[in-house]
Amino acid sequence: MDEECCDSGCKPCVLDPEDGDIPDLLNYISGEFLPARCEEWLNDLSPATGMRIARVPKSNVDDVNSAVAAARKALPEWSSLSHAQRADWLDKIANALEERCEEVAQLESLDTGKPISLARNVDAARSVTNFRFFAEEVRNFTAETFDMENATNHVVYKPVGVAGLITPWNLPLYLLSWKVAPALAMGNTVVAKPSEMTPMTASLLAEIIDDVGLPSGVFNLVHGHGEETGAALTSHSGVDLISFTGGTATGAKVASSAASSFKKLSLELGGKNATIVCADADMEKTVAGVVRAGFLNQGQVCLCGSRILIEESIYDDFVSRFLTAVEAMKIGDPADPETDLGALISADHLDKVSGYISLAEEEGGVILTGGITPEGIPKQFENGNWLSPTVIDGLSPNSRCATEEIFGPVVSIHAFSDEIEAIEIANATQYGLAGSVWTADLDKGKRIAQEIDTGMVWVNTWLHRDLRVPFGGVKHSGVGREGGRWSLSFYSHAVNICIHND
């Protein structure tokens, strides 16, 4: 195997000498599949093996300009369609995506390193559902009227214009479809910029959109680095709206870049979510739920409960059962349907997560399990990004490891004495995305939930999603809400027309 300096990071990537037939993914602009104009490429690496699995266009401002011009050109005709006509297009995309569901799952598992079972049941399934859900939402969408004594107000929802949609690597098509579907439904045209680390299913979506014959320029896809391609999109004067999902530090850059041209903006950012386990919780169900909340997708979900707060009186018993369940998870080959945990997204990210584990030890933490490369990882995965699920005890709830987003299979556990202390610890972070409370007393669960400063809280469950409800964070976890009618409202301008009756 040769080593080559990889364009997508400072780490060398491993080249398989037989990878001559790896695919070149292409941009999709005005109905054409194109390389970057500069003809430069980025390497897409497998998280599980470190091997190059595709090349991606290293697009720059020229490609973004072409994509935005195509989207602007397509806007008048697309925005003049009725809600029902656009809903029919979304259904066509959903149907075509559903036919290729298994391919979506395979590509997502390959590109992200996540277990195939998760890619099938969550990523692929939800991507289809997103298109179908927003088709139905927009079909049933009714605008308000407000009667006065001598006038009637009619609220009209107009498309915003060209939507720039920027997405991260942890749930690639799941999150991209969550933006593309409502943006198209409300009559906007789209320029999408997926993560350069997980470009595969965005390219598959472009293929599907081309196959169903969506008018050219309505959906455009530009691959590339965030600092180059993403930044060209957020600062572009021809883009009217940015929906961004990603890290908080990037979100700040996106916000300041979009601000000077007053783009409509939605930011879905990082999280450091608390899981509060009360003494009266059903132990068996709670252990299973807390393990899932902590480690789904290798802990790389913005909603993951990575700070586990446990009521003092059950601390030892809960921790012992929790550790048993964590250690029973099967880590390894993402393609194996029995696998619970796959690889982390990149070598850089593994370094970042491992750095936090070292920091935890400096901050007085004790690693109860994990923190190492898992034993028995097969030889073909030895250059992948592997970390065993890690549980840290003994940290102050105000320590960096307990308050900063690690975004890996790492949780810290903390004891609390009463509700007030649990709420205080839960709120002791700059983030405010989500949380969960586990208790047999539903009034108490609701009471605690209302005191946690986040956009979403679950009681006795986690990541239990109804697509009609608002989704988003407070504090440094984001600005704005998406989901159901909140998405339809974000991807449109509400205009009031007041007609005098006399």
Q: Give residues with Cβ within 8 angstroms of 94, minimum separation 6.
A: 128, 129, 131, 132, 135
Nearest Cα to Cα of residue 175 among 183, 184, 166: 166
Select 163 or 166, whichever has its Cβ closest to ligand NAD: 166
CB of 252 to ligand NAD, least distance (A): 9
Phi, psi of 265 (to 5 degrees): -135, 135
User: Which active-site residues does the annotation give?
Assistant: 268, 302
Minimum distance of ligand NAD from residue 244's CB (angstroms): 7
Q: Which residues bind ligand NAD (CB under 6 A)?
A: 166-170, 193-196, 226-227, 230-231, 234, 245-247, 250, 253-254, 268-271, 302, 405, 407, 433, 473, 478
Smaller CB distance to ligand NAD: residue 195 or 339?
A: 195
Q: By C-beta, is 252 or 440 nearer to ligand NAD?
A: 252
Cβ of residue 170: shortest distance to ligand NAD, in angstroms?
Answer: 5
Q: Which residue has the tokens 């989500």?
A: 434
For residue 160, the minimal CB distance to ligand NAD (Å) is: 18
Give CA–CA dist 307/423, Å, rounded: 12
Residue number with CB closer to ligand NAD (270 or 384):
270
How far apart are alpha carbons 108 and 175 in whole angstroms? 12
Q: Which long-range contacts (CB under 8 A, 24 or more apart) does 174-180 make?
A: 174/122, 174/123, 174/126, 174/127, 174/130, 175/245, 176/127, 176/201, 176/202, 176/205, 177/97, 177/126, 177/127, 177/130, 177/131, 177/205, 178/130, 178/482, 178/487, 179/243, 179/245, 179/482, 180/205, 180/219
Question: Are residues 192 and 221 in contact, defined by beta-carbon separation less than 8 angstroms?
Answer: yes
Look at residues 430, 192, 422, 463 and name the one whose alpha carbon lies nearest to residue 302: 463
Q: In what helix (H) or strand (E) does residue 265 lie, and over which residues does it extend?
A: strand 264-268
Here the tokens at position 457 are: 């809280």
Which residue sits closest to ligand NAD, CB atoms considered?
A: 226
Phi-psi region of 280 (alpha: psi -120 to 50; beta: other; left: phi over 0): alpha
| Nearest distance from C-beta of residue 198 to ligand NAD, angstroms | 8
- For the bound state, the minimum distance from the C-beta of residue 368 to ligand NAD, rounded and expressed in Å, comes to 24
Closer CB to ligand NAD, 62 or 336, in the complex: 62
Task: Give yes or no for a contact between 156 and 112, defined as CB atoms under 8 angstroms apart.
Answer: no
Nearest approach, Cβ of 324 to ligand NAD (angstroms)? 28
Block residue for tokens 């012992």: 320
Nearer residue to ligand NAD within complex by CB, 286 or 346: 346
Strands 435-438 vs 273-277: parallel, antiparallel or unpaired: parallel
- Both tokens of residue 244? 């961004």
How far is 202 from 28, CA to CA, in rounded Å? 10
Nearer Cβ to ligand NAD (245/403): 245
DSSP 8-state code for residue 20: G
Kindly state the smallest distance separating residue 236's Cβ from ligand NAD, in Å: 11
Query: What is the identity of the amino acid at 189?
Result: T
Q: For the purposes of burial, counting CB atoms within 10 Å of the CB of 311, is it exposed (0-12), middle (13-18) or buried (19 or more)?
A: buried
**Is the CB of residue 265 less than 8 Å from the CB of residue 258?**
yes
Shortest distance (Å) from residue 455 CB to ligand NAD = 9
Q: What residues form DSSP beta bridges with 241?
A: 163, 264
- 286 or 477: CB nearest ligand NAD: 477
Taking the CA atoms of the chain, what radius of gyration do you get in angstroms? 23
For ligand NAD, the closer CB: 15 or 341: 341
